[in-house]
């Protein structure tokens, strides 16, 4: 790609960007939230048209009018947010839109066999007859990749593929990438995780504010210099956690809570969170974390047990009542229940507050007050572009995440249930959010931090609870000498034995 320019109202997303990728190479694309990575890839894939600049494919200048052209040429893309249809089977998703030989008669057996052969060749194990909604996120991602490969992709664009994967799934995913590479495919990989870039990529291109800044061989660089190039300054300091103030009454107390979904018990737990402490929930995604968050916020109801919060029984309280009493919820699924994509940024920031004074008076919305509030959120979290009127859908992934954080974290929150709060954020923003959580804790809020990122849990938590198949394997005090292997084995289902030491 040479000299690519793409402007949207108020922002130049790509400003004369160059990018070159070789066959058999894994090329990482790195840049802050809103730097223009997804836009550049959407241009390559024919979703957007560049204002100027050209794309060359195998040495020839090409013009992709739509993804169909890009796919026909051999380019495949797996988007930052998946595009599979949940109620359709894997097979139906893979062949959706294709008119193969003999169409409209679809040769299911032949197609099934060729998909299975493809899956085997690249180590993408998945059951083609299952419906997509029954698959784990990691499996869904394999389907996305299979779909691209089935369409003959020689170049695969993967936009933040590992943001939703567990560490185990990431390892398997990297194996797939290595196999693709050895078969001569080229891969463009977008990720915010330096360790992944170092582990898997051959070269890195860094974007900053819409321009390409540098291209380098991965082995000639290191995470610190990459971060510095990307942000343009040193990384912010690690958050300071003041010692926990102890001996207060618990802010939140779950007593023998049981949550059932489709008659299967998904969660059976007792847990306390004190004011001024961060309780980290460690565990492989899908072991009841989402249910835990939702039962506290009132989205799911408990079939047994009680929830005490701030001196009251809130077991039967509604979501709104709990929110009014100071329970904030950072959802891990920004498109499903974190945001309303078709509303604008201001409206999304106001969702929790619009009914309250001073934003509503005598039943009328006060536009000035709402503007004041949204501007302060945009400023504090550096949401880009800083236009309250922009449709949520048009913000970059990381900026959407910042909007959720800005809405949920406020002075009124006494308990913050934070699910994957830094997923999709660049490292600068990640450090900022961690500091904000630490600040909230230091001012006295209780925080339940649910994260797949063990480093995040270790760097922020006062206590760490390990969840496995809906049950607690134990609760540990966090300390410099805490053994990560202990947590690792508990995450795998080994309960902490009585009197067992967890320190090195």
Residue 377 or 467: the one with the smaller Cβ distance to ligand ATP is 377
Gyration radius of the chain's alpha carbons: 24
CA proximity to 194, closest of 162, 163, 223? 223
Token digits of residue 436? 């904000």
Q: Least CB distance from residue 457 to Mg ion, whole Å?
A: 25
From the list Mg ion, ligand ATP, none, pick the one residue 33 interacts with, judged by a Cβ distance below 5 to 8 Å according to partner type.
ligand ATP
From the list ligand ATP, Mg ion, none, pick the one residue 430 interacts with, judged by a Cβ distance below 5 to 8 Å according to partner type.
none
Residue 201 or 272: the one with the smaller Cβ distance to ligand ATP is 201
Q: Least CB distance from residue 193 to Mg ion, whole Å?
A: 14
Q: Least CB distance from residue 403 to ligand ATP, whole Å?
A: 11
Q: C-alpha dihedral over 17, 20, 25, 31, to 10 degrees?
A: -10
Residue 17 to residue 53: CA distance in whole angstroms: 8
Residue 6 or 151: the one with the smaller Cβ distance to ligand ATP is 6
From the list Mg ion, ligand ATP, none, pick the one residue 385 interacts with, judged by a Cβ distance below 5 to 8 Å according to partner type.
ligand ATP
For 181-248, give the secondary structure using H, E and C: HHCCCEEEEECCCHHHHHHHCCEEEEEECCEEEEEEEHHHCCHHHHHHHHHCCCCCCCCCCCCCCCCC
Query: Cα dist. 177→80, 84, 142, 173, 362 in Å?
Result: 17, 21, 11, 6, 59
Residue 81 to residue 335: CA distance in whole angstroms: 8
Q: Which residues form the interface with Mg ion (CB under 5 A)?
A: 38, 80, 396-397
Residue 93 or 396: the one with the smaller Cβ distance to ligand ATP is 396
Residue 7 or 118: the one with the smaller Cβ distance to ligand ATP is 7
378 close to 403: Cβ distance less than 8 angstroms: no
Residue 104 to residue 450: CA distance in whole angstroms: 48
Helix ranges (DSSP H) in 36-124: 37-44, 67-73, 90-95, 108-122
Q: Which residues form the interface with ligand ATP (CB under 6 A)?
A: 8, 11, 13, 31, 33-39, 80, 384-385, 394-399
93 close to 85: Cβ distance less than 8 angstroms: yes
What stretch of H or E contains 271? Answer: strand 264-273
Q: Least CB distance from residue 385 to ligand ATP, whole Å?
A: 5
Residue number, nearest CB to ligand ATP: 398
Residue 27 or 266: the one with the smaller Cβ distance to ligand ATP is 27
Q: Least CB distance from residue 473 to ligand ATP, whole Å?
A: 34
Q: Least CB distance from residue 95 to ligand ATP, whole Å?
A: 29
- Residue 453, SS3 per DSSP: coil
Q: Least CB distance from residue 206 to ligand ATP, whole Å?
A: 11
From the list Mg ion, ligand ATP, none, pick the one residue 283 interacts with, judged by a Cβ distance below 5 to 8 Å according to partner type.
none
Residue 34 or 428: the one with the smaller Cβ distance to ligand ATP is 34
Residue number, nearest CB to Mg ion: 38
From the list Mg ion, ligand ATP, none, pick the one residue 288 interacts with, judged by a Cβ distance below 5 to 8 Å according to partner type.
none
């Amino acid at each position: 790609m040479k000299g690519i320019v793409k402007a949207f109202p108020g922002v130049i997303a790509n400003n004369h960007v160059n990018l070159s990728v070789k066959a058999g190479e894994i090329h990482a694309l790195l840049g802050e939230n809103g730097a223009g990575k997804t836009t550049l890839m959407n241009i390559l894939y024919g979703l957007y048209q560049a204002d100027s600049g050209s794309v060359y494919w195998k040495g020839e200048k090409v013009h992709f009018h739509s993804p169909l052209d890009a796919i026909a040429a051999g380019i495949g893309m797996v988007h930052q947010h998946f595009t599979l249809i949940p109620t359709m089977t894997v097979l139906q998703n893979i062949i959706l839109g294709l008119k193969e030989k003999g169409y409209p008669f679809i040769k299911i057996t032949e197609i099934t066999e060729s998909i299975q052969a493809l899956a085997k060749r690249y180590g993408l194990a998945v059951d083609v007859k299952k419906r997509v909604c029954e698959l784990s996120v990691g499996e869904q991602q394999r389907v996305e990749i299979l779909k691209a490969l089935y369409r003959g992709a020689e170049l695969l664009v993967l936009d933040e593929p590992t943001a939703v994967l567990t560490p185990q799934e990431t390892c398997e995913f990297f194996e797939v990438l290595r196999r693709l590479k050895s078969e001569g495919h080229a891969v463009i990989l977008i990720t915010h995780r330096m360790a992944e870039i170092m582990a898997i990529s051959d070269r890195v291109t860094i974007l900053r504010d819409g321009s390409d800044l540098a291209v380098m061989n991965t082995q000639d660089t290191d995470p610190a210099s990459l971060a510095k190039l990307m942000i343009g300054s040193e990384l912010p300091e690690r958050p300071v956690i003041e010692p926990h103030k102890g001996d207060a009454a618990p802010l939140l107390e779950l007593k023998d809570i049981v949550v059932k979904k489709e008659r299967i018990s998904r969660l059976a737990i007792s847990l306390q969170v004190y004011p001024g402490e961060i309780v980290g929930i460690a565990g492989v995604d899908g072991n009841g974390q989402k249910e835990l968050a939702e039962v506290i916020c009132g989205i799911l109801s408990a079939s047994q047990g009680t929830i005490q919060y701030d001196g009251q029984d809130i077991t039967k309280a509604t979501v709104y009542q709990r929110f009014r009493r100071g329970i904030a919820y950072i959802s891990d699924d920004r498109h499903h229940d974190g945001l309303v994509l078709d509303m604008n940024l201001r409206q999304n920031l106001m969702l929790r507050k619009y009914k309250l004074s001073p934003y509503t008076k005598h039943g009328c919305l006060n536009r000035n007050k709402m503007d004041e509030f949204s501007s302060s959120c945009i400023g504090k979290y550096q949401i880009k572009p800083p236009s309250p009127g922009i449709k949520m859908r048009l913000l970059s992934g990381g900026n959407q995440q910042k909007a959720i954080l800005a809405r949920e974290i406020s002075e009124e929150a006494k308990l913050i249930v934070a699910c994957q709060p830094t997923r999709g954020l660049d490292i600068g923003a990640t450090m900022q959010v961690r500091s904000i959580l630490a600040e909230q804790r230091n001012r006295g809020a209780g925080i339940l931090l649910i994260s797949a990122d063990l480093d995040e849990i270790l760097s922020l938590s006062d206590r760490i609870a390990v969840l496995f198949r809906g049950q607690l394997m134990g609760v540990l005090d966090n300390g410099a000498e805490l053994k990560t292997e202990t947590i690792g084995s508990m995450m795998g289902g080994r309960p902490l034995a009585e009197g067992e030491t967890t320190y090195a």
